[in-house]
Structure formats: C-alpha cells, structure tokens
Amino acid sequence: MVDLAGKRIVITGATGFIGRNVARRLLEEGAEVYALVRPESPQRNLLPVHGDFHVLPGTLDTAADSLSVLDRADGFLHFAWGGVNREEIDSPSVQEANVLGSLECLKEARRLGCGIFMDAGSRVEYGITPDGIMEESMECHPVNAYGKAKLEFYQKAAKLCRDWGMTYYHLRFFSVYGTGDHPWSIISTLTRELPKGNRVSLSACLHRWNFMNIADASRAVTELYRHSGGDGRVCAVNVASGDTRRLKEFVEEIHRLCGGKGSLEYGTFVQAKEGALSICPETKVLRELTDGTWKETISFARGIQEMLGAGGRDEEN
C-alpha cells in the first residue's frame, strides 16, 4: 500500500464541497497539498489552513502556467469543473471548455511525474438505466451536455493514461451529503427547514436513491490512493454508499430525527426535465480496488444528526 505521508499531491476544485474535504483528509494523512484555486473564488475562505497546504492561483485555462512552479508531484486529483448550474449544465460550449481544460491538467500530471491521476466523474454519465442500476462496465448514454462531457473526458483520458502507464481512477460520485453541502440540496433543505417548523416542497419521492456521507466519500478517495500501488490500472469507480432505498424513506427518517417538526408536501416540487429517475449504484469496483477492505463508517442517521448539530457551519456561499 501507498503511504500518503510526505506525498506531494496536486488538487483542483479544492474550494468545492468534495474537494476541500478530500484536501483536509490528505493533510491529516501527512500529505503536502498544492491546490489550484481561482483567485476570485468566493469559497476561498473555506480552504484548509495548514502549513502543508499551498494555494496556486489559477484556472483550468491557465493550469500549465500556474503549475509551472512545481517540478514534480506524486498524485493529481482533478475535481474542478465549471458550468454545473442549471443555466450552463446543458451548454455544449461550456462543457467542451471543461474537457479541454481537464486534458491540460492531465498533461501537467504527466509532466510532474504523477503515478496516479483521479478525477471527479458523475452518475449522470450513465444516463437512464433499467431499474436505476449503474455499474461501471455498462455502456453509458448521458442525457445532458454535462454528462456527455464527463464521459468524453474519461474516454480520452483513459487512452492517454494507458499509453503513459499512469494509474487513472475516474470517480463517479453519487449523492454526497454533509455539513457544507450546497444549501439547495434536498438534505440541506430538510435539515435546515424542518427544525424551524417550516414546510418543505418535495416530489413524490417514490424513486430509489443513494446517499453517501462526505466523510466516507473523502475517505474513499484516500483509500483508493493508498491501495493504488502504481500498477497502471485505468477504470471508472462508483463512489457511493451501500444504502439504496426509496427516497421517501430517507426523507421520513430525517423528519423523525427532526422530532417530527415541520411538514412534508409530497408531489408539489417541479422535477428536472429527466424526471424522477432511480439510482442504484453498484460498488463492487470500489471494494476490489481497496482489496476488499472498504467499509463505510457513517450511517445515514449519524450523518443527519451531525448536520443537525452543526447548525449550518461551513456552508457554501
């Protein structure tokens, strides 16, 4: 296994929900982290404060220039991706720019001599699947420009990494939640509004869903790194929990943990154009790549209780 202590790791997207939690965990493991951060990012105040955390101002467009101050690195974690809001998520031009910028990051990883490259993929790459089952070996049929671009980058990056002998894990994160998540997410909304006694508008919530706590998601990344061993393996990896059930069950559990306060209005929320689709991720690859040792540590109930106790600390602006 790889010891992360002393490893020099580059990360993009460190101001994001997943990125900053992964950065913190890497620092806890003793790694030295270099983060490419947009100078104008409103979330800069959420970055870790640590002697081994270094900020390199820049964007995906300027990645090569920004990273030129480094002569080597051991690993590269690429979590930055623009245009994830509703206005730009279906913009081919915006998403194509993401692909081009991401390829520049991959080339920088090679220049720096990185033994492993990981990036943040997405469950939307799978598109609409029978019964919501999503498994890495399936043929993908993404619906929107965002999903198509994520898949395009994976396919291009996979070929390059195979040619270069670089280990590459394309991490398809599912619904990651926890303190500091986007305030408009369903769990952030429920844990904020129900304790106040407010009403929350919801879909019918009859489709199946999967939630993974941010602590487990960030630990999954470091465990994958730890077990990588530089063997040159290239693959997609679902990063999801083993807890898949009807969304309504999750919602009702949150309501109970809030002491029954507030009210739930099912069927009043307007769905996105894809509709209410089930997601049922397989996690066999995650377990295989960690030599069968992977196990979650945060139950859904515990994760919700931690959010309720946190009272909104570390929220995104």
Would you call 57 helix, strand, or coil by DSSP?
A: strand
Q: Which domains are delineated in the chain? A: 8-177+211-241+280-297 (3.40.50.720)
Q: What is the pTM of this model?
A: 0.94
- Angstrom CA distances, 237 to 25, 142, 154, 288, stand at 19, 17, 11, 10
Residue 316 has pLDDT above 50, yes or no: no
Of the chain, the end-to-end C-alpha distance in Å amounts to 38
Residue 1 has what pLDDT? 87
Residue 31 has pLDDT above 50, yes or no: yes
Mean per-residue pLDDT over the chain, rounded: 94
Burial of 159 (0-12, 13-18, 19+ CB in 10 A): exposed
- What whole-number percentage of the chain has pLDDT above 90? 88
> Residue 212 CB: number of other CB atoms within 10 A?
25
Q: What is the mean pLDDT of residues 46-60?
A: 95
